[in-house]
Every structure is written in structure tokens, then in C-alpha cells.
Amino acid sequence: MNILFVADPLHTFKTQKDSSFAMMRELQRRGHTLAACEPQQLQWCSGQLVTALVRRIRLSGQADDWYRVLQHERAALRDFDAVLMRKDPPFDSEYFYATHLLEQAEREGARVFNRPRALRDHPEKLALMEFSEFAPPTLVTRSPEAIRHFHAAQGDIILKPLDGMGGAGIFRVGPDGMNLGSIIETLNQGGATSVMVQRYLPQIKDGDKRVLIIGGQPAPYCLARIPQGNEQRGNLAAGGKGVARALSDSDRQIAASLGPQLAARGLLLVGLDVIGEHVTEINVTSPTCFQEISAQTGFDVAALFVDALEARISAGA
């Protein structure tokens, strides 16, 4: 197969932990060919096919200088066997426009994973609200007054921006309400920006679990990201410690309910964030933790993903 990755610049990859790199490595091991581009290199001229300025690459097997560029060319997306949209957040206007170009490429015959419309329809924090039976008490609002009322009702809350990643911009406010006003001002920007507010879950001390759903089915292990020191966030980017664990019965029940629904909507790969028995986010843009799970358990997550991708392509999905 001929696979195109739409992703961040290759030179920014941290190959020791990057899940897109793990996918590339497994694809190349199976004899598939690789190409890469960035979203800004997508192009659509009226009356013509959606194309991209791509680099044909081959992985070198070296830690630092990890890829070789074999060729630069402009190619139609429909000429690839699969296009993997792996651009990291933020989910901003340019990301939104990229999904429209990718959706046009789909109409022309390209097979894009995750599907562009599904990416648009499942903003990573808002998507949770559809599945309230698995979520902690959650509020999305621009209203400072509504946030204060939510805090009064819940007592201990987490506030976060809708477009953040890696734990950026997340705040905890306890029962004393310390700094709630200034945090609302920072996140809400005078009513200009929506804020997500959730009841604080003390089970975060045992880890914020990343449960990977591939082709509608869960990988058998998750990565519990455990806050360190006085930090409230378990995100690896915020210094959390990643510990791989077998899925709990609760994790499996959540995955059994959400996985098939999300796969049917065109989401081949989903990363559920689970604290205790509650889902706090549904990650669809570029879910990670492949390498951390594989290194600690020996289970090859990238192989599971490529199995699912090959099956979808063979089935004409």
C-alpha cells in the first residue's frame, strides 16, 4: 500500500514516543510505502483534484536522522491507498479548513482515516457531552455566572479550554473557590471563549487512563498517566508518569459501548481519557501512547492499528 501521513513537520517528531512514527515503522516493516505532508501543503484548485506537495520517505532506522526523503512531488490524494490525518491540535480554523479539503478528496475517491467529517463532528472535549452516562458532571459555557453556580454545586472542579492539548490551560478550584475569578477571566476572556468545567475526580491520583479504541475494539492495555508531586494533571506533557495497565472491567464496558458507535462514524482510532469509571475526553485527532504501552507490556499497538487499517482498505471502507 501507498500511505500518506498528513501531520506536523517530520523534524518535530519525538521518535522515541511518537505514535505516528510507530505507525510508519510498522507500515514500512510490512512493505508499504510512505509519504508525508503538512496540512498547509494541501491544495484544491477549482475543477481539479485535491493535491498535496508530498515527500516520499523511507525510515532510516537511526534515532536522530530517522528518515530519508526519496522524492518531492505534487500528488492527488486519491492516488494513495490511505491518507492518515495525524495533525496534532489545536483544532483551529486551519484544521477545520483542512478537513474540508480532505472531505473533497474523499468525494474524489481518497480513503481518509479518521474521516474528515467525523473529525469535525467530534471536537475532543465537546464529543464527550453526547455520552453523559459515562461522563462526570460537566458544563460547557461562556457564562462566568454559570461557572460559579457549577462550582457552588460541585465544590471541587476542573476548568479547561476547549481547544487545549497536553494539559495546557487546565486549572483546579477547590471548595474554597481560591482564584476562581481570575481563572474564569483567563479562560473565558470576557465571555469571548467557551470553557469546559467538570467535577474534580479524586481518582486522578491513580492515573488518567488513555484507552485506545482501534477499529471499534479496545487495545488490551491502557496507559495510566499519573500526576507527580503537587501537580493535578496526569498528562505526559505536564510531567505525568505513564504506567501501562491491563484494562479494568469498567474500561472494557465503556469501550464496548462507545467503540462500535465511534467506529461506525468513521473513527478508526480513538483515545478515551478515563479517570476512575468516568470518561473525561474523547480524543480523535492524533491519539497517542502507542509506544509507551508497547514498551511496558510487549503488546504491539502499532501492529494492531495497521491490521485494522489494512482490513478497512481491503474491505473498501
| Domain boundaries of the chain, sorted by first residue | 2-121, 137-200, 203-311
Whether the Cβ atoms of residue 84 and residue 34 lie closer than 8 Å to each other: no
**Assign residue 313 a region: left if phi > 0, alpha if psi is -120 to 50, beta otherwise?**
alpha
In this prediction, residue 317 has a pLDDT band, given cuts at 50, 70 and 90, of low
The rounded mean pLDDT for the chain is 95
Write out the catalytic residue numbers.
Answer: 125, 160, 210, 225, 233, 273, 281, 283
Phi, psi of 204 (to 5 degrees): -60, -25
- For the stretch 31-83, pLDDT in tens is 999 999 999 999 999 999 999 999 999 999 998 899 999 999 999 999 999 99
- For the stretch 71-112, pLDDT in tens is 999 999 999 999 999 999 888 899 999 999 999 999 999 999
In this prediction, residue 280 has a pLDDT band, given cuts at 50, 70 and 90, of very high
Residue 101 has, within 13 A of its CA and on its CB side, a CA count of 25
For residue 151, give the nearest of 178, 125, 175, 128 by alpha carbon: 175
For residue 159, give the nearest of 183, 127, 125, 129 by alpha carbon: 183
Whether the Cβ atoms of residue 81 and residue 111 lie closer than 8 Å to each other: yes
Angle, helices 180-188 vs 144-154, to 10°: value is 140
Whether the Cβ atoms of residue 137 and residue 199 lie closer than 8 Å to each other: yes
Question: What is the share, in percent, of the chain residues with pLDDT greater than 90?
Answer: 89
DSSP class of 204? G
Alpha-carbon distance of 132 to 156, in angstroms, equals 19
- For the stretch 124-174, pLDDT in tens is 889 999 999 999 999 999 999 999 999 999 999 999 998 876 667 899 999
Q: Specify the CATH number for 137-200; select among 3.40.50.720, 3.30.390.30, 3.40.640.10, 3.30.1490.20.
A: 3.30.1490.20
Task: Read off the pLDDT of each residue in 200-211 and give the average, rounded to a whole number.
Answer: 96
Alpha-carbon distance of 86 to 42, in angstroms, equals 14
In this prediction, residue 238 has a pLDDT band, given cuts at 50, 70 and 90, of low
Q: What is the pLDDT of residue 89?
A: 87
What count of residues does the chain have?
A: 317
Helices (H), 226-300: 249-264, 290-297
Q: Span 203-311: which CATH code?
A: 3.30.470.20
Q: Classify domain 2-121 by CATH architecture.
A: 3-Layer(aba) Sandwich (3.40)
For residue 67, give the nearest of 25, 109, 7 by alpha carbon: 25
**Side chain identity, residue 317:** A
Using the predicted structure, report yes or no on whether residue 199 has a pLDDT greater than 80: yes
For residue 77, give the nearest of 117, 119, 44 by alpha carbon: 44
For residue 290, give the nearest of 273, 279, 303, 280 by alpha carbon: 303
Alpha-carbon distance of 298 to 315, in angstroms, equals 29
